[in-house]
Amino acid sequence: MQIWEAIVLGVVEGVTEFLPVSSTGHLTITEKLMGIPIDDKGVTAFTAVIQVGAILAAVIYFRKDIIRFVTGLFRGLFNAEARRHEDWRMAINVIVGSIPIVVVGLLFKDYIEGVLRSMWFVAAGLVVWSIVMTLGDHLGRQKRAEGDVTWKDSLIIGLAQCIAVVPGVSRSGATISASLFRGLDRVTATRLSFFLGIPALAGGGLLEAVTRADEIAATVGWAQTGVGTVISFIVAYVSIAWLLKYVAGHTFAAFVYYRVAVGGILVALLATGAITAT
């Protein structure tokens, strides 16, 4: 992989990681258009590792919240009174909501990195999940805020996050949609999506860095991976700030239109043979 290619992929990752448009889907499309083999183990690992840059951006952006949650968790472990505090509840919510994706990711790791790395899955995920996002946006009551989130909400949202192993669905799109169906408002749904994404994506990226180190070195290069990660961090930080401001006053309709358009174009390219599925 050339350095310029790593920069482009880092930008794509940073822009799309937290937007409900599927970062994995966009990275797969971009890699395909640049002639990079999307089913190569090293490339798959590169895609996961550069997500760590975006996650680090989220950690820094939400550092005050994260410190509160961690502090509340440790206080609650030793003090019954502290377990009635919102910080304890949110820490438990994030832990509970992260369990499903850890289990699914470890059990189906090879399947996720193999069969699902197809452009048809990307196209289907983009279009089909857009329907779910539209329903969530219109049917969700949006009357519940962050302080109303329960462990049951987090578990259901965490289960929805597992659907995002299909490229094109979007991890944030899945978690935000599930949050809206649970009656949470858009800002709370988006913030919770960020919080649940931190352990899931950081764990996945670090696991790939350790287990696929040789493949990354042989097919992509660690220098390129480092560049992609740094670029994704910078771009993702700006993307996070923009998204939180946007959802405070807008629906997710613009993202749905975009997803359907990209998915439709992808189907046309695949159907005409302009590009191959793998």
Res. 180: pLDDT tops 90: yes
* Amino acid present at 111: Y
pTM: 0.86
Residue 278 maps to a domain: no
Q: Decide if 179 contacts 145 (C-beta within 8 A).
A: no
Tens-digit pLDDT profile for residues 196-206: 988 888 887 88
What angle, rounded to 10 degrees, do the helices at 63-78 and 51-61 form? 80
Structural domains counted in the chain: 1
pLDDT category of residue 254 using cuts at 50, 70 and 90: very high
- Return the exposure string of 142-159: e unless at least 16 CB atoms fall within 10 Å of the residue's CB, then b: bebebeebeeebbebbbb
Residue 277 maps to a domain: no
Q: Decide if 91 contacts 146 (C-beta within 8 A).
A: no
Residue 95 maps to a domain: yes
Element (H, E) at 9: helix 3-16
Query: Rounded mean pLDDT of 14-37?
Result: 89
CB proximity list for 53: less than 8 A, separation 6 or greater? 10, 13, 14, 228, 229, 230, 231, 232, 233, 236
Query: Rounded mean pLDDT of 254-267?
Result: 93
Within 10 angstroms of residue 260's Cβ, the number of other Cβ atoms is: 16
Residue 211 maps to a domain: yes
Domain hosting 24: range is 3-271
Mean pLDDT of the chain: 88
Residue 216 maps to a domain: yes
- According to the model, what pLDDT value does residue 110 have? 63
Res. 167: pLDDT tops 90: no
Residue 276 maps to a domain: no
Res. 277: pLDDT tops 80: no
Beta bridge partners of 69: none
Query: Rounded mean pLDDT of 227-248?
Result: 94
H and E: helices and strands count for the chain = 14, 0
Beta bridge partners of 184: 144
- Return the exposure string of 116-128: e unless at least 16 CB atoms fall within 10 Å of the residue's CB, then b: bbbbbbbbbbbbe
Residue 124 maps to a domain: yes
